[in-house]
Structures are given as C-alpha cells and as structure tokens.
Amino acid sequence: MSKILDMPFEKSKVGISVISPVTYRQQVRNLILAHVRNNKLRPGDKLPSLREMGKKYGVSIGTINKAIQELEQDGLLVSKPQVGVFVGENAFERNESNKDSVVLKKHSTVLFLTTYSEVPDSINNLDNFWDNLISFVMRQVASEGYTVAHFPVHENELDVLKSVPQFVLDHECLFGIIYQGRNLSQIASLEKVGVPVIYAHCMWSSEISIPRVCIDAKRVGYDAVKYLYKKNYRRIGFIGCMEKNVGIIDALKYEGYAQAFAELGLDPRAEYCWPCLPRYQPAAKITNLMLDSLVNIPEAFVAANDYVAMGLIDTLNRRGIKCPENIAVIGCDDIELASRFTPPLTTFGFDHKEFSEKLFKMLVKRTNNPKSAAENEFITTRLIERTSA
C-alpha cells in the first residue's frame, strides 16, 4: 500500500543552495533521489503533492514538476493521473537479505561532482551555461541505464567526498566518477576511491596525467584572431586572465591568441592585453582603468569568455565607444545571454551533447581497462557569428 511520507523539505535543512551552479530543479531531483537511497522513500511510496513540495522546498510548482518529469523519464518515478506520483517498483532492486531495504543495483551508479564558489558578481549567476552542461551530462549517463548521484561541492573543499554518503561510494554499486572543477588539490581524495575518475572541462597542465574531456581553449584564441584578421582588423587586443596559475583556460586562449599573432606577423602590443579575472565586474574595472591611460585602443578584442566580453562592451558603451561601430568584440562559451545581449555577441560555442557522450565513453573505456594511459579528448568549438564582431 502506498503511503505519503512527511519529507523534511524545509529549505534551510535540505541543501537548496542559491550559490550552487546547479539549478533548483536539479537540486530537487537530487534530493528526491537521496530520499530513495536512504530508504525514506521506497518503491510504491507516494510523494507529497507538488504544492506541498513547492512550499516546503521554497521553489515553484513548475520547478518541482520539471524535476519529477525528468525522474519519470528515467524510470525512477511513476505518475498516476488523479492519484499522485509514486516511486517506480523497478527503479531499484530489493536486497534479498533484507526485504525492507532498498539498495542500488551492482555497479549502477555514476557519481557526478561539480564545484561552485561564492562569486560576488551577480551577472555571472544570471546564466545557465553550467546548468545546461551539467544537465546534458546527467541525461547522457541516465540514458545509458545508470543512476546519477550528483553532489555540488565547494571549490575550496579539499575532501570533495566528505558530503557523499558512504553507500554511494560502495564499490559494489559505484561504476565511476565524473568530476568538474578547477582545484588541482581535490584530485587526491578522488583517486583514493579506487574507481575510474574522468575529469570534465578541467584545463590543468598537460603534464598532469589524468583522463579528461575539455574544449580546445588554445584553438579558440587562435581562431578568434584569424577571424578578426580576415575582417581587416589589425590592432587586436585580449582581455582575460593570462597567467596559468590563476586561470588556465583563459591562459590557453591567450597562448592561441599569441600564436596567431606570430603567424600573421602582427605586433602583440602589451598595452592591448588587459588582465582580469573571468567575470563581468573585473572586466568592467580593467576596461575603465585602461581607457583612462591609453591614447589609442584596439580596433577589436578577443575576450576570454562571454561575461568578460559583456563587461568590456558595457563599459565601452558608457564611455561613448560603440560596439561594433567603433570596436569589435568576440567572446567564448555561447552562454544564453549572449544572443540577447546588445549587440548580440559573436562567440565560440561547443556541442554539449558531444561533450557528454565523450565523457561517458571515456568512463566506460577506463572501467574496462583501468591501467590504460590517460587520454585528453578535446571538443572542437564553432564560431557563432552575430553582430558584435
């Protein structure tokens, strides 16, 4: 017989985080899964109503509904019209030694760890670039018949597994780990688990031997300069981080930028390279500082990412320098805001589905042959031409 559980969904207690890169929908999905894994919900149990969950979570009914729809598509929940939503009878196997417990299927789980930081820059939290990529990865893993155990962790937390329940780390159910982050120090705790680990979008030094899938960041900077050169721009600047120990992804884009300059015989003038962290506000700040000190500014800019491009363009506009009339700008990442920005941003994007498929294929390959040499899979980016350049 089905039952309605009094699920402890108060927002302050369940970990709905406003600073996590994960959407509320995905956080709700993960929390429902956690209740199943902890035996608070079992096959056949009925969930509270959408209104009840929305009120206790502190999120909209639409958000709850989307999370439930995803779990239904994955076969974990079942909706019965006019009755309610139930945990699927076949979603998990019952432990033969204990008929009252629910356990994960053997080697059925992929642990997906994503990192976040408290970024004091509101515009950087308006877009869903990472949410979309995370969602694609989770859907890809689920489509292969695996359960996704997704846990956001702070980027400065050295023990990234501290908040992961022990039963998830049990070798009998854990297939492998996918990690997305930028803290090299977190590798040590991951390698202790004893299962394959694949690193997503981790642009550390190529000398570090880890299996990873990432964009070809150096090619982005290179192609951006070549594109602007073909459009007859010669004074081309770069804005972003240029030091690998601060921002490796940006630094690789700068390397590509410098390589293209060398091939084209252009002079990479130091005053045209503006260093800043990869966010909107630092880009706006350095733009103001450089405009106050330079007589001549570049005709075009390669920006390390779309947030940096937006900070640059907004500040230029406030100083009476219009884009693209007076200066051209190219970004990178193709965040959702890029197409709605004024002017719509020319940028580089990549196929999230291809990225997710390569991640899972690499995980399977490492599982079948754990001692194989670490590989680097690079995802090719594509130029999305709009009106900013």
Highest-confidence range of 22-31, 77-86, 142-151, 178-187, by mean pLDDT? 77-86
Q: Are residues 270 and 178 in the same domain?
A: no
Residue 180: inside a domain: yes
Q: Report long-range pairs for 82-85 (Cβ below 8 Å, ≥24 apart).
A: 84/2, 84/46, 84/47, 84/49, 85/46, 85/47
Residues 21 and 156 occupy one common structural domain: yes
56, 45 contact by CB (below 8 A): no
Residue 233 and residue 162 share a domain:
no
Residues 188 and 244 in one domain: no
Global confidence as pTM: 0.70
Q: What is the DSSP string of 272-341?
A: GEEE--SSHHHHHHHHHHHHHH-SS--SEEEESSHHHHHHHHHHHHHTT--TTTT-EEE-SS--GGGGGS
Domain that holds residue 250: 217-349
163 and 189 both lie in a single domain: yes
Residue 209 located in a structural domain: no
Q: What is the CATH number of the domain that holds 55?
A: 1.10.10.10
Do 85 and 113 fall into the same domain?
yes
Q: Per residue in 295-354, pLDDT tens?
A: 888 999 999 999 999 999 999 999 999 999 999 999 999 988 899 999 999 999 999 888
355 close to 213: Cβ distance less than 8 angstroms:
yes
The answer to whether residues 285 and 178 belong to one domain is no
Same domain, yes or no: 272 and 324? yes
* 322 and 280 both lie in a single domain: yes
Average the pLDDT over each of 15-24, 175-184, 303-312, 324-333 and give the range with the smallest value.
15-24
183 and 35 in a common domain: yes
On whether residue 245 sits in a domain, the answer given is: yes
The tally of domains found in the chain comes to 2
Poorest-pLDDT segment among 50-54, 86-90, 260-264, 300-304:
86-90
Do 267 and 139 lie in a common domain?
no
**381 domain residue, yes or no:** no
What would the two tokens of residue 9 be? 């969904």
pLDDT, average across residues 217-242: 95
Least reliable range by pLDDT among 47-51, 181-185, 341-345: 181-185
**pLDDT, greater one: 57 or 282:** 282
Query: What residues does 110 pair with on adjacent strands?
Result: 148, 176
Is residue 27 located within the same domain as residue 163? yes
**CATH code of the domain covering residue 310:** 3.40.50.2300
